[in-house]
Amino acid sequence: MHTTFYKNDKIEQPNFTADVCLDFYNKRLRIDDYRGSVRLLSNWIDEIAAQNKFEKIIIKSRQEDLFRWLELGFVYEGEFTGYFNGASAVSMCKYLDNERRNSIYWTEEDKILKNVLKLAPSSLLNPLPKEYELRMADEQDSKELADLYNQVFEVYPTPMDDPEYVLKMIRSGTLFCVVTHQQKIISAASADVNADYHNAEITDCATLPEHRKFGLMKHLVSRLEQELFKKKIYCSYSIARALSFGMNAVFHQKGYVYKGRLANNCKIFDKFEDMNIWVKDLSETK
């Protein structure tokens, strides 16, 4: 694992247990699940965050603990509806750095969101142009996928430009769907499956610039949703760059519901970016 990027850990203490991600690259601490004393977990979090000079703490809280986290100085940023086998996860955050707290693009992102929400949802897909092919990826595609991510993203929150890392993801159950043009992968997206809680994050969406005018991402998302539905995974969610009209439009038009914005959440391109949460209940799919 790329410890320079992040480290996943299972913390077992007398009064609580927690699934923790120490995200060094994005200077944040993320608690993906926990049981036990919220107060004592919060104290532990403060210590670990200080030791590692983290700037942001994110908790996926159970709905019933929301007010406990508020009382401990956390703020509500959004909701992942259906995340825990049908029960919601609430994103509660704490900032340890003023600059990390303040988003200079917030009102611009509000305008982008307003315009996205004006678009009519559309389940119809334009046919793929005839020289393009859509398929699920396999282990043989890991190098080409890494090359694609290397070309599209100068900076990214995970080492997707490393073929070994991509291969490890595929082997661990992450689904990748690709569009090829002249036998070359020119667009891709993945579904990062959480088998314990039956949810999946649609992520790693990338298309080479010269192929962006054909609406390929809607095809990729649709195919991934079909694969998730077959596996009885009904909570599908994504976090999209709040500054990207195109990606937010894809999820809105595909029937995802806007559920909040995570401020300065992760490093993409040249800066920390705000990310919009989009969630869809695939069990309602016809």
- Specify the domain boundaries for CATH 3.40.630.30 within the chain: 6-101, 106-284
pLDDT one-digit tens code per residue, 266-278: 988 778 999 999 9
In the numeric block, the tokens 């649609």 are attached to 202
pLDDT band at 286, cuts 50/70/90?
A: low
CA distance 124 to 74: 41
Tens of pLDDT, residue by residue over 34-50, are: 999 999 999 999 999 99
**pLDDT tens column, 150-174:** 999 877 777 899 999 999 999 999 9
High-pLDDT (> 70) share of the chain, %: 98
Q: State in words which class domain 6-101 has.
A: alpha beta
Mean pLDDT of the chain: 95
pLDDT at 89 over 80: yes
pLDDT category at 1 given cuts 50, 70, 90 is: very low
- pTM, two decimal places: 0.94
Query: CATH code for 106-284?
Result: 3.40.630.30
